[in-house]
């Protein structure tokens, strides 16, 4: 049997086309240069003879920045051995179980923790990271009885969220509480990432923080920071009006346009601002921590140039290449990555799976209801991708597929 799915396939001409023309004519990436096709693909099947797998019917499936950079040919070849093509993208998923899966009965609404770690791959004993609960750091994402794929949505075998059906392992599934609407549930995965990033930032009480970017990731990171740390002054740099108003709502102390960010951080930290002959201004002194949530070169530059000596820069978006790392060396900064989620150590020392934190705390955050700004059926995928590519400009945070529609 077959399933309707949006499939990513390798295509050299489209890759070259998207890379060269994509920035000039972004419309082409959702148009003829998209390395995607809507097709009836063979039903994904779990590895033969393995238990703990079940079919999932996605109800909402988000379009993530990493998906877009893959389509635009901008993601690094570093990933190439970690994926198996053709694959069905989509790793931010709320869905409905079609089969019983361990203690979860069929029909149950679930959210997906997308990493395909040791447990899903049948690696026994698990790698040290998985054993410690840090599944995001799993060393075995390219081996085991599954095809390579760092997450569901990059693995040829499991299918992904941009389809009518895919398979998932029990270790990836978390029951969605009944009170949680689909529109919020689809944000649980990015919210878990945001919580992870916020905790990776190890913000001490009253330290000043700069968040670069207020798209979905930026807003969720800001919320997570307010929930799980006690930052002092939080500045958010955001490009679009709607993002700025959302950041204000989510608890930023100050919201500025990116071009005014260094100026604003300087005022609060009484730093010195210097202007190099070329390139943007930088601070001597500055914020204690900066979290980069855009994934652009200018975003990372801004973060690196706005933290104090010995401060910390957290890279939460997929890092762009080309940023100037001089401040990292000269100011002796900590550069910290934050990828997906796992198990968190809370300030009081307890250890909790990130997803549990995300599911639990998303239930009383009304602002999350407003982040999914548009949903599209699969057959309007070009509209969806095009919309997602200029979501900020169009006043949307998250664009999602409603694959059953």
Partner 1 sequence: MKAADEVKELARGFRWGRRPMVPRSAEPHTEEREDVGFPTDWARTEAGVAARQAILRGIMHPLVRNERSLRVFGLDHLQDVRGPVVFFSHHSSHLDATLILCTLPDRWQRRTAVGAARDYFFDVWWRQAFTALVYAGFPIDRARGGKGIDKARELVRDGWSIVVFPEGTRTPDGHMQRFRHGASRLALELGVGLVPIAIVGAYQAMPKGRWWPGKGRPVVTIRYGDPIYPQEGETHQSLSLRMQQAVAQLFDEDRTTWFDAISRAERSETPSLAGPVAPAWRRTWEGSRPVARRGPPKAWE
Partner 2 sequence: MPRPGFVLEVDERTPPLIVHEGEGYRMQKFPLGTRVVYPPDALPGLRDLNAHIRQALLNPVGDSKPLPELLFAGMRLTIAVDDISIPLPPMVTPDIRQRILEHVIELAARAGVDDLEIVVATALHRRMTAAEIRRMVGERVYRSFWPTHLTNFDAEDKDGIAHIGQTEEGEDVEIMKRAAESDLIVYVNINLVAMDGGHKSVAVGLASYKSLRHHHNVHTMLHSKSYMDPRPGHSAINDSTIRMGRLLASNGLKIFQIETTLNSETFPAQLGFLNKREWEWSTKDQALMMAAKKANEVAPPRVRREFFRRIEASYKVTGVNAGEVEAVHERTLENLHRQQVVEVDGQSDIVVMGIPYVGPYNVNSILNPILVHCLGLGYLFNMYRNKPLVREGGVAIMYHPVPWEFHTIHHPSYIDFFEEVLADTTEPKEIEDRYEERYATDPWYVHLYRTSNAYHGVHPFYMWYWGAHGRDHCGDVIFVGGEPKSVARLGYRRADSLRDALEMAKDSVGPSPSITYFHAPPIMIADVR
Q: Which residues of this protein are in contact with partner 2, per CB under 8 A? A: 240-242, 393-396
Which of partner 2, partner 1, none is residue 244 near (CB under 5 to 8 Å by kind)? Answer: none
Compute the least distance from the CB of residue 352 to partner 1, in Å.
37
Q: What's the min distance (Å) between Cβ of 147 and partner 1?
A: 15
Least CB distance to partner 2 at residue 396 (A)? 8
Give the binding site for partner 1 (CB under 8 A).
Answer: 2, 4, 25-28, 30-32, 37-40, 42, 373-374, 377-380, 382-383, 386-387, 390, 394-395
Nearest-5° angle of CA 153, CA 321, CA 240? 75
Token pair recorded at residue 272? 């010195």
Q: Which two tokens stand for residue 99?
A: 């089969």
Residues in the chain: 405
d(CA 173, CA 224): 22
Considering the complex, what minimum distance in angstroms separates the CB of residue 362 from partner 1?
23
Closest contact distance (angstroms) between CB of 194 and partner 1 is 25
**Nearer to partner 2 among residue 342 and residue 392 (C-beta):** 392
User: Torsion over CA of 239, 240, 243 and 247, rounded to 10 degrees?
Assistant: 50
Give 320-323 contacts, CB < 8 A, sequence gap 24+.
320/74, 320/295, 320/296, 321/76, 321/297, 322/297, 323/297
Q: Smallest gap, in angstroms, from Cβ of residue 43 to partner 1?
A: 10
Question: Of these partners, partner 2, partner 1, none, which one is at the site of residue 242 (CB under 5 to 8 Å by kind)?
Answer: partner 2
Q: Which does 302 bind (CB under 5 to 8 A by kind): partner 1, partner 2, none?
A: none
Q: Which of 84, 34, 61 is nearest to 166 (CA)?
A: 61
Q: Of partner 2, partner 1, none, which one sits near residue 378, judging by CB under 5 to 8 A according to partner kind?
A: partner 1
Name which of 9 and 330 has its Cβ closer to partner 1: 9
Q: Which helix (H) or strand (E) holds 109?
A: strand 109-112
Q: Look at residue 382 and give the partner it binds from partner 1, partner 2, none, a contact being a CB closer than 5 to 8 Å depending on partner kind.
A: partner 1
Residue 396: CB minimum distance to partner 1, A: 8
d(CA 15, CA 70): 9
For partner 2, the closer of residues 5 and 183 by Cβ is: 183
In what helix (H) or strand (E) does residue 225 lie, and over which residues does it extend? Answer: helix 216-228
Nearer to partner 2 (CB atom), residue 242 or residue 268: 242
Nearer to partner 2, 276 or 395 (CB): 395
Q: Which is nearer to partner 2, 182 or 386 (CB)?
A: 386
Does residue 350 sit in helix, strand or coil? coil
Closest by CA to 296, choosing from 9, 23, 20, 12, is 23
The two tokens of residue 349 are 């020392």
For partner 1, the closer CB: 174 or 398: 398
Question: Residue 60 phi/psi, 5° resolution?
Answer: -140, 145
């Amino acid at each position: 049997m077959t399933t309707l799915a949006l499939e990513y396939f390798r295509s050299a001409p489209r890759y070259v086309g998207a890379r060269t023309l994509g920035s000039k004519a972004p419309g082409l990436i959702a148009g003829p240069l998209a390395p995607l096709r809507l097709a009836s693909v063979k039903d994904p099947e779990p590895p033969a003879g393995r238990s703990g797998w079940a079919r999932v019917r996605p109800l909402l499936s988000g379009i993530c920045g990493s998906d877009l950079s893959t389509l635009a040919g901008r993601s690094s070849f570093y990933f190439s051995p970690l994926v198996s093509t053709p694959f069905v993208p989509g790793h931010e998923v709320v869905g409905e179980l079609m089969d019983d899966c361990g203690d979860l009965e069929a029909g149950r609404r679930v959210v997906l923790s997308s990493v395909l770690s040791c447990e899903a791959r049948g690696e026994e004993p698990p790698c040290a990271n998985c054993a410690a609960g840090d599944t995001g750091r799993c060393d075995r994402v390219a081996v085991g009885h599954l095809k390579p794929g760092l997450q569901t949505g990059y693995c040829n075998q499991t299918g992904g969220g941009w389809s009518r059906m895919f398979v998932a392992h029990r270790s990836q599934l978390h029951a969605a509480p009944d009170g949680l609407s689909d529109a919020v549930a689809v944000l649980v995965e990015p919210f878990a990432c945001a919580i992870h990033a916020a905790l990776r930032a190890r913000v001490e009480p009253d330290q000043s923080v700069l968040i670069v970017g207020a798209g979905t990731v930026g807003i969720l990171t800001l919320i997570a920071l307010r929930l799980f740390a006690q930052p002092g002054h939080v500045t958010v740099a955001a490009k679009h009006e709607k993002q700025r108003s959302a950041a204000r709502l989510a608890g930023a102390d100050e919201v500025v346009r990116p071009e005014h960010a260094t100026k604003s951080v300087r005022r609060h930290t009484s730093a010195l601002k210097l202007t190099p002959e070329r390139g943007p201004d930088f601070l001597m002194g500055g914020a204690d921590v900066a979290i980069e949530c855009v994934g652009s070169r200018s975003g990372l530059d801004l973060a690196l140039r706005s933290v104090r000596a010995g401060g910390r820069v957290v890279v939460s978006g997929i890092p762009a290449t080309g940023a100037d790392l001089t401040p990292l060396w000269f100011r002796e900064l900590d550069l910290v990555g934050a990828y997906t989620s796992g198990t968190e150590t809370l300030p009081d020392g307890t250890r909790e799976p990130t997803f549990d934190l995300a599911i639990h705390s998303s239930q009383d955050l009304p602002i999350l209801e407003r982040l999914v700004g548009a949903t599209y059926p699969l057959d309007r995928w070009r509209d969806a991708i095009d919309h997602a590519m200029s979501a900020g400009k169009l006043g949307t945070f998250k664009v999602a597929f409603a694959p059953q529609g």
